[in-house]
Amino acid sequence: MSRPHTPALARLALAALSLTALMTTTPAAAAAPTPFTAEALVRLERVSDPRVAPNGRLIAYTLRTTDYDANKGVQAIWLHDLESNTTRRLTGGTGSSHSPRWAANGDLYFLSTRSGSQQVWKLDLSGGEAQAVTALPLDVGTFVLSPTGDRIAIAADVFPELGTDLAATKQRLDAVNAQKNTGVLYDKLFIRHWDTWKDGTRSQLFAYQLTERGIATGNAQWLSRGIDGDVPSKPFGGDEEITFTPDGRQVIYSARIAGKTEPWSTNFDLFRVAADGSTTPENLTADNPAWDTGPVVSPDGKLLAYRAMKRPGFEADRFGIIVRDIGKTGELGPARELAPKWDRSADSLVFSPDGRKLYTAADDLGQHRVFSVEVSSGKVKALTGEGWVEGFALARDAVIIASNTLAGPTQLYKVKLSGSAPLALTQHNAQTLENLAFGSFEQFSFKGWNNETVYGHVVKPVGYEAGKKYPVAFIIHGGPQGSMGNHFHYRWNPQTYAGAGFAVVFIDFHGSTGYGQAFTDAISGHWGDRPLEDLQKGYAAALAKYDFLDETRAAALGASYGGYMINWIAGNWSQPWKALVNHDGVFDNRSMAYSTEELWFDEWEHGGTQYEQPSHYEQFNPVNHVAKWRVPMLVIQGGKDFRIPLEQGIATFTALQRRGIPSQLLHFPDENHWVLKPQNSVQWHNTVLDWIKRWTAAN
């Protein structure tokens, strides 16, 4: 079974390109003089976070551009008018502006660093300059507006013992930075998380009243008082974890009580508090020891919906959709799961204006689609087809999506709720894309582990000629509970390899998301056998189906779990490969268990702690197979990666050097688990391509 990509499908599949860019996948455009490169990748404008105004006509969104010389991205707010079909930039000046949010009166609020720190600002679109809404001594991390327009909730990192005195937190931080001694004493985990050492602060939620002009005033009301945890969660939580009730009187948010169990707990709960901070936060989901998050309340205030997992300690469990009645006295009715047989994990939720439907997005067979779910019946309907929806918002009779495909980067599209082909609204990068060539791609399937259907993709090299054979870049995705599908990625983008003359193959092996929870669960406790079987069978299926793949000139590449798999196949499946690339991959499961920060991940995947289940950590431990390594390997490691710490990469490189295997180590001291700085990204890509070209060059 295969699913070929065509320009028509690209439009219907939400491809994020203008017509000229879509044509780059046709044979005529394949001969374009400029293949896609990493330099082009990092300079592309990036569309995200569409938000529809209360009038249903205007769409605000964030556009990131690259200041290559300054080695950073710069964000601005843009506006698209659905009636006039025009697009314009709203914010300018110094700093970045992002996270546009509409007030009920049509004013647009957003976060900006234009004042030197990150604060909330607002624009009256009828005219005038942007106004500062907050002028706090600390950066605002996120914010949520009350539907009644009289209050704003903001999150900021504070010392909890200093409470609402944000100035006191700023003074203490300044004093610490001025000290000559630099030692920090810890008595519990986390000591560091993702890429940041803990300094004693917590992200806490506060509310301020808004004046008639929409400016924050008065003293802060502490909405997360007594919550020993971060609101929103770290490192990636945002305003999707916080909501006001429609009457503006209450706030509901998600938080994990930290204590001394934070690194091995996934027990997030929903808490409800009066919007003026006059009540103690009330735990609404104490009966569920797993993850509860993403609260939304129906427009009539009668129904609470949120997402919940069922298995404590497992971060990749399926997020089901839960609804509960909210009584007049404030008591919640029993929890009811919508669509319990819908075997997909829901993303953030949005109620329809009449409260009869919920909208969400989910991984699905190598795509990321938008779905509607009827509240009464649980009936699920896919609203989008092929492609990767990065964000969406409701607009009158349509859903506005920010979507991309392997054919090109994200644009905004309008898809009618009654069903229609997506209508392109924006054409960012159109002129750039006209002069770039992309490889055409196709999804295929095969029988993998347990004789179950597994999907993969093949991308042809730019300038493909029938009858010729091309070197292969075989990419293994991380997670491992993730998906590498029809997605235009800014770090692992198959088109950068296609532009360099490689045919690209990647497989959504067992453990990947979007194929049912049992498929995702299959990898836990089986890191080295079931996914390896899928990769082996998938590669064999690709070689049999696509005669342009040169199996004598192939390199395998992967990051995170994919980097672990590179180390694993180095000792267990080295035969097909001329070169390997390992980015931030696990070398030793044993030491990883004691050095990574989020312990719940390792402990779930290996069935317990290392001291309780040592054999589970050794069963598929790459370090035990170093004696069989032989293939040249490039090792890449971020110095600020606390998920898979630096020592894992150093150990990998040390093993290679000690064995006398050709190898290189590329160390980024200023990057975390990801390579984010534009010039570092270009260096990363050039180093990787130089390495695999060196070992796969034709004789």
Position 260 scores a pLDDT of 94
Position 257 scores a pLDDT of 96
Nearest residue to 210 (alpha-carbon basis) of 299, 144, 279:
144
Indicate if the pLDDT at residue 22 is higher than 70.
no
How many Cα atoms sit within 13 Å of 660 on the Cβ side? 0
Q: Is 298 exposed, middle or buried (0-12, 13-18, 19+ CB in 10 A)?
A: buried
Overall average pLDDT of the 9-38 stretch = 47
Average pLDDT of the chain is 94
Position 628 scores a pLDDT of 98
Q: pLDDT-based confidence at 699, cuts 50/70/90?
A: confident
Indicate if the pLDDT at residue 19 is higher than 50.
no
Percent of the chain with pLDDT over 70: 95
Q: pLDDT-based confidence at 4, cuts 50/70/90?
A: very low
Distance CA(152)–CA(213), nearest Å, equals 13
Distance CA(418)–CA(396), nearest Å, equals 11
Whether 407 and 20 have beta carbons less than 8 Å apart is answered as: no
**Angle formed at CA 97 by CA 220 and CA 75, multiple of 5 degrees:** 145
Helices (H) and strands (E) in the chain, counts: 14, 39
Nearest residue to 585 (alpha-carbon basis) of 562, 556, 604, 617:
562
Indicate if the pLDDT at residue 693 is higher than 60.
yes
Return the higher-pLDDT residue of 28 and 173.
173
Burial 402-427 (b: 16+ CB within 10 A, else e): bbbbbbbbbbbbbbebeeeebebbbb
Q: What is the pLDDT of residues 99-118, one digit of tens each?
A: 999 999 999 999 999 999 99
Return the higher-pLDDT residue of 327 and 383.
383
Position 94 scores a pLDDT of 86
Indicate if the pLDDT at residue 2 is higher than 80.
no
Indicate if the pLDDT at residue 17 is higher than 60.
no
**Helical pair 561-572 and 530-545, crossing angle rounded to 10 deg:** 80
Position 33 scores a pLDDT of 56
pTM given for the model:
0.94
* DSSP conformational letter for 461: P
Indicate if the pLDDT at residue 204 is higher than 50.
yes
Position 277 scores a pLDDT of 96
Indicate if the pLDDT at residue 8 is higher than 70.
no
Q: Hunting for tokens 């030793």 — which residue is that?
A: 588
Please report, for residues 17, 237, 284, 320, 606, the alpha-carbon distance to residue 292 in angstroms, rounded to integers and kept in the order given.
37, 13, 10, 10, 24
Q: What is the pLDDT of residues 556-591, one digit of tens each?
A: 999 999 999 999 999 999 999 999 999 999 999 999
Whether 550 and 477 have beta carbons less than 8 Å apart is answered as: no
Q: Which of 24-33, 298-307, 344-353, 436-445 comes out lowest in average pLDDT?
A: 24-33
The residue type of 652 is: T
